[in-house]
Amino acid sequence: MEIRPILSAMLRNRTGAVLVALQIAITLAVLCNAGFIVQQRLDKMDRPTGYDAANIVTLQTVAIDKSGVDASQIAADLRALRAMPGVAAASPTPQLPLSNSGIGWALSPTGEPDDPDRVNISMYMVDEQGLDALGMTLAEGRWFGPEEVETATDLEELIRLPMPSVVLTRAAADKLFPEGNALGQTVYDFPGRSMQIVGIVDKAQGYFVNSQSAENSMFWPVLVPANDQQYYIVRTRPGERDAVLREVESVLLAGNPRRLVRDVRSLADVVGESYGNDRAMTVTLLAVMGLLVAVTVLGIFGLMSFNVSRRRKQIGTRRALGARRADIVRHFLLESWVITTVGVLAGTALAVGLSVWLVGSFELPKLDWRYIPAGIIMLWAVGQAAAYGPARRAAAIEPAVATRSV
Q: Where are the alpha helices (DSSP H) in 169-275?
A: 170-176, 241-255, 267-274
287, 279 Cβ separation under 8 angstroms: no
pLDDT at 363: 85
The pLDDT of residue 111 is 83
User: Angle 371-395/14-45 helices, nearest 10 degrees?
Assistant: 140
Whether the per-residue pLDDT at 9 is higher than 80: the answer is no
Distance CA 168, CA 174 (A): 10
C-alpha span between 120 and 256 (Å, rounded): 38
Say how far apart CA 229 and CA 68 lie, in whole Å. Answer: 7
How much is the average pLDDT of 278-295? Answer: 97
- Burial (CB count within 10 angstroms: exposed 0-12, middle 13-18, buried 19+), residue 231: middle
Of the two residues 316 and 351, the one the predictor is more confident about is: 351
Segment 116-133, tens digit of pLDDT: 889 999 999 999 999 999
Q: Average the pLDDT over each of 127-131, 222-226, 337-341 and give the range with the smallest value.
A: 222-226
| C-alpha to C-alpha distance for 333 and 300, rounded to whole angstroms | 11
How many C-alpha atoms does 72 have within 13 Å on its Cβ side? 4
Q: Where are the domains of the chain?
A: 4-46+277-403, 65-257
Order of strands, sheet of 56-63, starting from the edge strand that comes earlier in the sequence: 87-93, 229-236, 56-63, 259-266
Q: Are 249 and 50 spatial neighbours (Cβ–Cβ below 8 Å)?
A: no
DSSP letter for each residue of 76-91: HHHHHHHTSTTEEEEE
Stated length of the chain: 406
The single-letter code of the amino acid at 123 is M
Residue 406 pLDDT > 70, yes or no? Answer: no
Q: What is the pLDDT of residues 151-179, one digit of tens each?
A: 887 777 888 888 899 999 999 999 999 99
pLDDT band (50, 70, 90) for residue 4: confident
d(CA 162, CA 149): 11
Q: What is the mean pLDDT of residues 277-283?
A: 96
Print burial letters for 205-226: b (CB count within 10 Å at least 16), e (below 16): bbbbbebebbbbbbbbbbbbbb
Q: Is the pTM of this model over 0.95?
A: no
pLDDT (tens digit per residue) in 42-68: 999 999 999 999 999 999 999 887 666
